[in-house]
């Protein structure tokens, strides 16, 4: 069983968390670059030295645009955005535009997928499964929407589709970064100023909205952490 070092960073600015992810990724890339050492004319795999991490964080209001995103999906002027205290970053993850803010669980797994499987599609489906299982803990049916990464409610009912968890990742030499953003008691009004994930005419929701009550944030984080361990079959340290 793989071991994953877990850290709950609490509230942290987006740039600071991004820099930490990059640091952990680069540390693993350096280890992987040196993973085959010559020993008596043979190359010995020392890849076991790479480390897995799972970071949880809660960001101040920020819009992030993925490398395949489009600026026209930002519907708010820079002046209004600054007046509302919302940051903006162009990132190196996949996907389009999304929002991060208070009472949203943002998860950043830094995993060496060569120790699991070399399949990004499978990795994304497993991240989705973590959220689907967590929603089931609350009596909700989370589902996948074909061709639209993330977790949804009623994705096959036109006019009722609503997204509860966005995802976007980067992978370098099979080491991952970025991850998922799961709306718990998130202020959904922030999504009115963007085209979330570049998907028009589909809504965004939260656990609070679906359940009709405030959700214990720490309880929700514990559920996501537990289900991450279950889906990826890892021991969280």
Residues 6 or more apart whose Cβ sits within 8 Å of residue 64: 14, 88, 89, 90, 91, 93, 97, 98, 99, 100
Q: For position 104, what pLDDT does the model report?
A: 98
Mean pLDDT of 64-82: 93
pLDDT at residue 40 tops 60: no
What are the pLDDT digits (tens) for 86-111? 999 999 998 899 999 999 999 999 99
Mean pLDDT of 138-160: 96
pLDDT at residue 46 tops 70: no
| 197 catalytic residue (yes or no) | yes
CATH of the domain at 185: 3.30.930.10
Number of domains present in the structure of the chain: 1
- Closest Cα to residue 180, out of 167, 193, 163? 167
Q: For position 47, what pLDDT does the model report?
A: 47
- What does the alpha-carbon distance between residue 86 and residue 129 come to, in Å, rounded to a whole number? 30
Which one of the listed residues 51, 165, 171, 197 is annotated catalytic? Answer: 197
Q: Which residue has the higher pLDDT, 152 or 43?
A: 152
Q: For position 48, what pLDDT does the model report?
A: 55
Cα four-point dihedral sign 225, 134, 210, 194: positive
Question: By the 8 A CB rule, do 105 and 224 touch?
Answer: yes
- Domain limits at 156? 2-35+43-236
């Amino acid at each position: 069983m793989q071991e994953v070092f877990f850290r709950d960073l609490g509230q942290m600015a987006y740039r600071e968390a991004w820099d930490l992810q990059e640091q952990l990724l680069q540390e693993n890339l350096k280890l992987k670059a040196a993973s085959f050492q010559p020993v008596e004319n043979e190359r010995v795999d020392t890849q076991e030295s790479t480390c897995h991490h799972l970071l949880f964080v809660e960001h101040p209001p920020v819009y992030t645009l993925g490398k395949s995103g489009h600026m026209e999906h930002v519907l708010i002027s820079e002046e209004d955005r600054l007046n509302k205290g919302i940051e903006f970053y162009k990132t190196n993850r996949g996907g389009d535009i999304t929002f991060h803010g208070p009472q949203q669980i943002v998860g950043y797994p830094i995993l060496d997928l060569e120790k699991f499987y070399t399949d990004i599609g499978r990795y994304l489906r497993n991240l989705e499964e973590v959220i689907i299982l967590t929603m089931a803990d609350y009596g909700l049916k989370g589902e996948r929407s074909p061709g639209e990464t993330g977790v949804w409610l009623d994705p096959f009912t036109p006019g009722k589709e609503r997204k509860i968890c966005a995802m976007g990742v980067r992978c370098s030499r099979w080491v991952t970064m970025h991850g998922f953003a799961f709306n718990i008691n998130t202020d959904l009004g922030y999504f009115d100023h963007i085209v979330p994930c570049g998907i028009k005419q589909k809504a965004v929701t939260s656990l609070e909205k679906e359940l009709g009550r405030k959700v214990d944030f720490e309880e929700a984080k514990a559920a996501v952490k537990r289900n991450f361990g279950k889906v990826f079959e890892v021991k969280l340290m």
